[in-house]
Structure 1
Amino acid sequence: MSIQKISVIGLPMDLGQARRGVDMGPSAIRCAGIIERLERLNIEVEDLGDIMVGRPENANDPETNLKNLSLVAAGNTELAAKVDEIIESGSFPLVLGGDHSIAIGTLAGVAKHHGNVGVIWYDAHGDLNTEETSPSGNIHGMPLAVSMGLGHPDLINIHGAYPKVKPENIVIIGARSLDEGEKALIRDKGIKVYSMHEIDRMGMARVMEECIEYLRERTVGVHLSLDLDGVDPADAPGVGTPVIGGISYRESHLAMEMLAEADLITSAEFVEVNPILDERNKTAIVAVALMGSLFGEKLL
């Protein structure tokens, strides 16, 4: 790939959901050797450390169905400014989570620079709930809806009061667990989804070929948001919301390799690594290996 410099920033936040531990994800990914892995690819790497996140006094916002709304909004506001600054400096932002609610901040920062940004949402879930449709009130199930301008004003207005991404510029890959409200939104907005049915039937190579062609012709800049629960739990057990029957380790590598060859991705985040639920840091090691492929690592 043509990337010259990568700036790594962590947001160790577990407030977008109810299970503790995912706040240790950035540390686990660093322990698995992400900085050294990228440096071996002859890319300049800058580790900006982590954004500090407070702890809630009361998890439930008294006026909404949303858990930890003020702290999630604050963390994402800081992340959006940092991602904006990284892109402004000419570097590639690589964000380490944290739960998937941090995508709100990442996409808000990216959208300042890529007004017609494309999004690859590599995930078992759609993360398309709103306050009205969410069964749990967990904001980590809402970031894609928020980024389309659907949700609480404190979230959709972060770093600019406008939708950060158009629904026709989104491709969801690996979906196998969708709430009813999410299914309705996908149909209503015409969001492109490759569920596990399509991956099984078509094969990952064809899915990625179609995804790349689809986004290349209609977007400026493409953001990869990769939730480790998109990968099958046999390969990535350390996630908060595992769903069996997911994308294999090898299929995931192929997807990242094809994105590297396409030279399409302009920003990325890897989220939902939970070391407490993991086996000897296996999931963080998988995340680092996939990042290696995304940034051009080859066998020969």
Structure 2
Amino acid sequence: MVRVTTATTLLHFAGRAGDHNDRAMQGSPVLARELADRLGVPLAAVGVPRPALGTGWEVELASAATDLAAMQAQLDEVMTAGSRPVIALSRCAVALATLPVVARHRPDAVVIWFDAHADINTPETSTTGYLGGLALSGPLGWWVSGFGAGLAPGNSILAGTRDIDPPEQARIDTGAPLLVAPGPAFTERLLAACAGCPVYVHIDCDVLDPGIVPTDYGVPGGLTLDDLHDALTALATLEVVGVEVGEFEAAPGDDAATAAAARRIANAVSPLLT
């Protein structure tokens, strides 16, 4: 396949979106600036940081609605212009706004969901009420978020996912989304699952093994930075229609550690940036 090359637009979702704490709103701008330095393009921020609420999905979604709508409109403009988006997210719940836009503009693209969690619960199956746990199921059309749907289950792949609730496993057992679990030959299995299709890559930093970078959750058995870099190098041989990276948190009280962790993530993601 001949890879399509376009201009790149860097966006930063700066607001809250189902946050348990303020650390992703503090960490995401650090990652965004690191990506801007790598790409050499201007950085456009969407939304305004506000104190985390740490409450149920309905209140969180209503609180984030204005910023999510702005994110959706901005991404629509970028993709309409034929530019490739690279987005630094605060939380994964921002995908409620981004993925329906991707599905509308590129229905041929497969969404690769790098995440320790499947995030395909619905309000009816969630035991926690956490908005982030509904982040992929909304774009899949399994509940009504208010931001649309359109992502076909067969065009979604869970990559590196290992913390799966029983209702989510029941969905996976139907074959869509497809699960590519961590383990031997991870990159080869993931590339085979893509079947040469264009890809949109979502990365939650907790897909990595705990302790590699600061993030809200730590689930053992994850990817190393080398695993992630190798997988993204393989995906870069396909047409990459966009990239989003979320759940990167600031290390409390340690700006140097936060900056170093942002560089580690940017290094791993670098195959998709060129």
CA distance in 2: counterparts of 1:295 and 1:30, whole angstroms: 13
Aligned partners of 2:19 and 2:54 also within 8 Å: no
Cα gap change, 1:139 to 1:252, in 2 (>3 Å): same
Aligned partners of 2:47 and 2:67 also within 8 Å: yes
Alignment match, 1:285: 263
Look up the equivalent residue of 1:121 and give its one-letter code.
W
TM-score, structure 1 length as denominator? 0.82
Alignment match, 1:117: 109
Q: Offset at 1:60? A: 4.7
Q: Offset at 1:91? A: 1.1
Aligned partners of 1:13 and 1:22 also within 8 Å: no
CA distance in 2: counterparts of 1:212 and 1:243, whole angstroms: 25
1:192 and 2:178 matched = yes
- Given candidates 189, 192, 207, the residue that maps to 1:230 is 207
Q: Deviations over 1:10-41 (max 9, x none)?
A: 1123431423311123212134x2212123xx
Q: Offset at 1:187? A: 1.9
CA distance in 2: counterparts of 1:209 and 1:240, whole angstroms: 28
The correspondence of residues 28-177 of structure 1 with structure 2, limited to 5 A, is 28-31=30-33, 33-39=34-40, 45-52=41-48, 60=55, 66-151=58-143, 153=144, 155=145, 157-158=146-147, 160=148, 163-177=149-163
Aligned partners of 1:18 and 1:138 also within 8 Å: no
RMSD across aligned positions (CA): 2.3
CA distance in 2: counterparts of 1:291 and 1:6, whole angstroms: 15
Look up the equivalent residue of 1:118 and give its one-letter code.
V
CA distance in 2: counterparts of 1:53 and 1:75, whole angstroms: 10
Q: Offset at 1:81? A: 0.9
Long gaps (5+) in structure 2: none
Q: Deviations over 1:32-84 (max 9, x none)?
A: x2212123xxxxx232123225557x7656xxx63412023332221111111
- Given candidates 239, 244, 248, the residue that maps to 2:215 is 239
Alignment match, 1:42: none
CA distance in 2: counterparts of 1:92 and 1:275, whole angstroms: 27
SS of alignment partner, residue 19 of structure 1: coil
SS of alignment partner, residue 148 of structure 1: coil
Look up the equivalent residue of 2:206 and give its one-letter code.
D
Q: Offset at 1:100? A: 0.3
Cα gap change, 1:60 to 1:125, in 2 (>3 Å): closer
Aligned partners of 2:206 and 2:217 also within 8 Å: yes
Q: Offset at 1:226? A: 0.5
User: Please, which moves more after superposition, 172-181 or 185-194?
Assistant: 185-194
- Given candidates 2, 6, 9, the residue that maps to 1:7 is 9
Q: Offset at 1:235? A: 2.2
- Given candidates 235, 248, 260, the residue that maps to 2:236 is 260
Aligned partners of 1:15 and 1:67 also within 8 Å: no
Structure 1 residue runs of 4 or more that deviate by more than 4 Å after TM superposition: 53-56, 58-61
Q: Deviations over 1:169-204 (max 9, x none)?
A: 1111101111122112222463210112xxx23x13
TM-score, structure 2 length as denominator? 0.89
CA distance in 2: counterparts of 1:291 and 1:133, whole angstroms: 33
**Equivalences, count:** 269
